[in-house]
Chains A and B, each alone.
Chain A
Amino acid sequence: MTDEIRFEHISMEFPGVLANDDISLSIRNGEVFALVGENGAGKSTLMNILYGINTPTAGSLYVRGEKVTEFSPKAAIDRGIGMVHQHFMLVPSFTVAQNIVLGREPKAANVLFDNKKAEQLTRELVAEYGLEVDPSAEVRDISVGLQQRVEILKTLYRGADILILDEPTAVLTPQETDELFEVIRRIVREKQMTVIIITHKLYEVMAISDRVGVMRQGRLIGVKNTCDVTERELASMMVGRPVLFDQLEKTGEPGDVAIEVDDLYVSDNRGLPAVRGVSLSVKQGEVLGIAAIEGNGQSELLEAITGMRKANRGTVKICGRDATGKTPGEIRAMGLSHVPEDRLSTGVDRAASVADNLLTGRHKEKRFNLFGFHQRRSSVERYAEELYEKFDIRGAGIRTEVGSMSGGNMQKVVVAREFSFDTPVLIISQPTRGVDVGAMEFFHTRIIEKRNAGAAILLSSADLDEVFRLSDRIITLYEGRITGEFRADAITKEQIGLYMTGTGEGAKA
């Protein structure tokens, strides 16, 4: 195997940040190379240099032995480099074929766009690479997994033989992930393509890659043959210290039922049924995990339980009291805390300080309050400092504007506030979305602490690993209905995947 790509002492400096620090790396022809690292480690920056979006501030890049002088996506495409971004680069109202040929359209009579030719070219690609997709379907109507195929086909249409995939499995079901890996193996084997995959899911690194490079704080920590390392070693390399995976100790016996949902029906924003007859219960000292692909009613379900959305039918009981139709404030007073799905819109006030965000919901408490309207700054700040320390929030102190913090630290502010209420019921949604491995470990430990202390926790996460790690029981939701309920230690991820797509046995229930 020869060197396909060679980074030589590449550095990339953004104002105030050294995103890539003297990186030298060779990627070989025909291999699957995995690039792992925490958020902000510089993986995407390095790949954006390869794809010509960033121009490095120092060092040189060689593609097939040739030194790259012009950094632009167009030049990279011409060099045969294709990139599938984490957020898909597709025009929703265009058809599959129109998206694939965008920028290099086949023409009829030299001026007009030749749609027939575009669809025919797409069919040829589909046949050649075995990536089944309907050329005339509009992209907004097809599933996320198919949209990713369109992205891959797009790069192939542009003649790519080096394919960069940025977190490709973040939005996929286990089955779709398997299919994607099958595709990757096929194009590497049959077309001698070189594939670089950016990920933070370590078992995927083990499953698909030949070699793996680990990045931390802008530097390349090491490059290994995948067969020579373990997941645990990789995790330690990424974080820079041993990571305590799989050491969450669950203790205690479940107590009384604290969350009770009976035959709940909820509509989504468009007025369509989103939750259709869901019944569940969570006991104290128990984590119930919801496994579902996005858009199958889990958001609406949690919103209805927390009072942020009105239910059409059914009842919700929190600690034995009827919470149906109550306001979020009233439900919180019954003993519920809520880490919402989207921290930016409902978790924090971005323009307010860390201290003010931590205080939200406690303004009326005597110790922060003088004559009913005046905040006692000193006690507020003392209180905020305490939480700041306890939850290991890293930033420029409690007076920092929350909007300027990283996603992980912002999430720590939300979790610190919600966990500080010490309520018997916790509703947690997407606790670690966009959060790095180190912070993830921290959140998981805190959640299990709460569980062991007797809280009833309802958890929803798009990350199936997380659901498995934290839950005692798991339910699968598909199109607003519960399609299965399992003990977490009695089922595999693959089996769950079937229920999440409504194809598992008993799915018609």
Chain B
Amino acid sequence: MNNSGPSFWTVASSTLHMMLSSATPVALAALGGLLTEHAGIMNIGMDGMILMGAFVAAAVAAAIGSAILGVLGAILFGIVVGLFFALFTVKLKSDEFIIGCALNTLALGLTGYFARAWFGVKGISSEAYFSKLAIPLVKDVPFVGNVFSGHSVFVYLTWLLVVVMWLFVYRTPTGFWIRAAGESPETLRTAGKNPERMKWIASILCGVFCGLAGAYLSLGNLNGTFVEGMSDSRGYIAFACVIFSAANPAKAYLAALMFGFFDALGGQLQGVIRSDLPFAYLTKAIPYVITVVMMVYVVVRAQRKRTRMAKQQFKNLG
């Protein structure tokens, strides 16, 4: 062990700490995205939804001085965005891809404009935000305390939401209907339920989850600050997590953790590599590149396994 730097255990625990916090917005957005995925809507507009959530949360918190109301604002605005998304994709049957792209571009422009128009060049900085929670007892446990304590409340809320969403998707009638709406809408219709309504519900809930993800970015993670484009493509990573996990909430959270881990690792490397070196900024790309590569690998492997199993089955038959 090197005496001049921090110990391995310190680095490891702070990396894992960062992993949890940077996985959270991705996981929250993925929880919403997996609903639209199940409902049969290709939703690449999550990045814009997150960004708008971050803006609204910070703006409301700054204006009113309450972080809770900021989150509520982001949730309400998420509902509006979800309705907007559903209006075009479900009701007017526009191309989902185009609407998603439009939403992302619109979010970038609108939030940038209003941030400057209302709060000047410095951007939004809210006095009210969510402070980090030190969890009694846990915080004093060596290593474990460093990893699990001292997060914003969103991190813990996300764990709860993963469980709730898993139950919702796989263990409630509404969850079944949403999945049926995506997989076989006419079946659901002949069963006397309206598939379009399920798609509306999925879109609205997705808006809410992305709003939460955004609120975490500005109010939970960055102490009340909104920065232009702060969603930083997390919406796309969330979309990748949804696809990778076959829209299973638990697996989607694991995928988000994987992204979080490499994001944290990239962050640590940034501290080590001298910033005047060429390509030093490439460390920022690490989490994105590795996440995508890992996911491709996992998906390809799963496909191979399916083919192998099918071949096996075929042999047994013959």
Mark A residues whose CB is within 8 Å of B.
Answer: 72-74, 77, 83, 85, 89-94, 98-99, 102-105, 107, 111-113, 270-273, 276, 479
Contacts and interface: CB of A to CB of B under 8 A. Distances in A.
B318 interface: yes
Contact of B307 (A112, A272, A479): A272
A102 B176 contact: yes
B173 interface: yes
B188 interface: yes
B173 A89 contact: no
Contacts of B311: 272
A113 B310 contact: no
B183 interface: yes
A103 B307 contact: no
B176 A271 contact: no
B317 interface: yes
B266 to A, nearest CB: 37
A105 B187 contact: no
- Which DSSP category, helix, strand, loop or mixed, fits chain B's interface? helix
Question: Interface residues of A: mostly helix, strand, loop or mixed?
Answer: loop
Contacts of B307: 270-272
Contact of A73 (B173, B190, B310): B190
Contacts of B188: 91, 102-103
A151 to B, nearest CB: 10
B175 interface: yes
A74 B188 CA distance: 11
A74 B192 contact: yes
Given A91-B180, A93-B179, A113-B173, A102 B314 contact: no
A113 B184 CA distance: 19
Contacts of B179: 91, 93-94
B273 interface: no
Contacts of A93: 179, 183
A495 to B, nearest CB: 23
A105 B183 contact: no
B310 A89 contact: no
A272 B172 contact: no
Given A92-B183, A99-B187, 19 more contacts: A73-B190, A74-B192, A89-B187, A91-B179, A91-B183, A94-B179, A102-B176, A102-B177, A102-B180, A102-B187, A102-B191, A102-B193, A103-B177, A105-B176, A112-B167, A113-B171, A113-B173, A270-B310, A272-B307
22 contacts: A89-B184, A89-B190, A89-B191, A90-B184, A91-B179, A91-B184, A91-B188, A92-B183, A94-B180, A99-B187, A102-B180, A102-B187, A102-B188, A102-B193, A105-B173, A112-B171, A113-B172, A113-B173, A113-B175, A270-B307, A271-B307, A479-B317
A273 B315 CA distance: 10
Interface-central residue, B177, B188, B191, B307, by most chain A CB under 10 Å = B191
Contacts of A112: 167, 171-172
B318 to A, nearest CB: 6
Given A93-B183, A272-B311, A272-B314, A111 B191 contact: no
Nearest to B310: A272
Contacts of B191: 73, 89, 102-104
A97 to B, nearest CB: 11
Sorted nearest first, the 10 A-B pairs with minimum C-beta distance are: A103-B191, A74-B192, A89-B187, A105-B173, A102-B191, A91-B184, A91-B180, A89-B190, A103-B192, A112-B171
B232 interface: no
B186 interface: yes
Given A74-B192, A102-B188, A112-B167, A94 B176 contact: yes
